[in-house]
Amino acid sequence: MFIDINGLDEHAELEADICIIGAGPAGISMARDLIGTPVRVLLLESGELEFDGDTQELYASESIGIPYFALDQSRLRYFGGSSNHWDNWCGEFEPIDFRQRSWVPDSGWPFGIEELYPYYDRARPLCGLPPRRSTEWIQENMGVPPLPFDGSRLKYHFWEIAGPPIRFGEAYGAELREAPNIRVVFNANATELRTDEAGGVITSVELRSLKGRVTTARARFVVLACGGMENARLMLDSDRVQPNGIGNRHDLVGRYFMDHPLDRVGSIVTSDPMKLIDALRTSRRGKYFYFPSVVLTETAMEREQVLNSRIQLRFTTTENTLPMLQRVGRAVAAGQVPSRPLETVGELLLNADIVAYNLYRRMIADLPIVPKPASVTEVLFTFQAEQAPNPNSRIMLSDKRNALGGRQMVLDWRLSELEKRSLHVQTKLLGAELARMGLGLFRMESWLAEGANSWSPDVVIGYHHMGTTRMADDELRGVVDRQCRVHGMDNLYIAGSSVFPTGSNINPTLTIVALALRLTDHLKQRVTTTT
């Protein structure tokens, strides 16, 4: 059932067994998994079915650390959350990401990756992905031999991409609307988590709309699923009973903020760019895409005492036939006539050689299309880096207020020497391996070759907000326990990437959904065994 808070009676209260705050991938996955059960569910969405600028403005914040994109642009505040603008790049974490690494302070999850494998299996179809494929299977189906890296140093690791992307609101909204035990409540902004006098139980959630409607939600269990930043902001701002905010007895809420820095690490001078492009390019199998990266092996990471980052190939070209061929291919696949047909036919005739070659690659060899070798102007490598946990990289509150009266966020994002050294080591190993295979001379970017903790002025981020309510068995090291329950709280849980103790090197959504399904299983049991 869909409800708008603005249509409720003035003194109405909403009640349920489980109240989930946030209707992004985590919240929608949880609610969907509860369809058809006896569990009564409230799924609270700040916005509506479509984007609204005034609602989006509630994310307005400021940044005082390393320059960061405007925070109100890095998340979407309407049904489906940030899946409304993602490109569906997914991947599972690796075993080393869950381990305590002596050279990475505050690393280690309370459990190993084996705990998540069955939940990854359940999360995959929700994210539009096929069953798990091994690296060997993907390589065998790439159509060209993989580069023979020294297996003690480097290996392939793949992003998995569904096409078209899964928008969680569009994909699963109809099921939730029809489910008798699910109520999705729109324009329901959670402005305060209220507790009993001892501060150990959430007794209600205050809800406000931008049109002035105020109401209350009550549930046996409350789940925060409103993102890696907003989870922490709401906990810090709910300070009526606990002056430092809910769950913040040890000053950990908001700390350990992580993201994935992105930039280029270097380029390569090569006489055969197509060999590299073919060996490190996207592979398509049906509606699924696999995009390779080069990562360090666990042995190399431990030997070099570095983080788990990834490097991938890009190239620039003067060839304008490539986007035209891609446009034609998309139109034909959709059963449509390509746009600008006369102009397109002319371009095809003028470039008959590369067109014929790409028709062979696509239709016969099932390989992606490529540019003319002579048109490739640069072959370069970019990175997506793991960020080490850092308690001084954090979210705080300012004195500024949003339209609902809540305090705005202040982000102090910080990187350390370990991130840069890890990239420097990995890039040197990659350059050495490419030279050993006779593939060219690698040129490292000057900012990476320099010492100290200097970063490229062009560094950007993946909008992968992680770590602000981290998971640990010891409440002195984390905000939530291994079941994602807030330490010291009986009925408050957190879903999403804010519970990640470490963030690996790959996009977080698949792991977010896997953890959400794991939390749902736990709550199903609690609902049936707790009175």
Is the C-alpha dihedral spanning 240, 77, 217, 482 positive or negative?
Answer: negative
Question: Residue 453 above 90 pLDDT?
Answer: no
Task: Give 323's pLDDT tier (boundaries 50, 70, 90).
Answer: low
Residues in contact with 150: Cβ distance below 8 Å, sequence separation at least 6, in sequence order: 433, 436
- Per the CB < 8 A criterion, the answer to whether 45 and 76 are in contact is no
Q: What is the CATH number of domain 1-86+166-260+391-414+466-497+511-531?
A: 3.50.50.60
Residue with the two structure tokens 């992580």: 258
Instruction: Say what the pLDDT of residue 329 is.
Output: 56
Distance CA 354, CA 365 (A): 15
Instruction: Say what the pLDDT of residue 369 is.
Output: 61
Q: State pTM to two decimals.
A: 0.91
Give the pLDDT mean for 269-294. 88
H/E run at residue 206: strand 202-208
In sequence order, what are the beta bridge partners of 315?
Answer: 379
Token pair of 470 as six digits: 């981290």
In this structure, what are the phi and psi dihedrals at residue 174, rounded to the nearest 5 degrees?
Answer: -65, -40
Higher-confidence residue of 338 and 520: namely 520
Question: Residue 300 above 60 pLDDT?
Answer: yes
Token pair of 188 as six digits: 């329901």
The string of pLDDT tens digits covering residues 40-75 is 999 999 999 999 999 999 999 999 988 887 888 888
Question: Residue 213 above 60 pLDDT?
Answer: yes
- Per the CB < 8 A criterion, the answer to whether 471 and 499 are in contact is yes
CA dihedral 397→60→388→384, nearest 10 degrees, is 180
Residue with the two structure tokens 């708008």: 4
Q: How many of the other CB atoms lie within 10 Å of CB of 29?
A: 27
Task: Give 338's pLDDT tier (boundaries 50, 70, 90).
Answer: low
Token pair of 403 as six digits: 């339209």
Task: Give 305's pLDDT tier (boundaries 50, 70, 90).
Answer: very high
Give the pLDDT mean for 473-492. 97
Task: Give 294's pLDDT tier (boundaries 50, 70, 90).
Answer: very high
The string of pLDDT tens digits covering residues 160-203 is 999 889 999 999 999 999 999 999 999 999 999 999 999 999 99
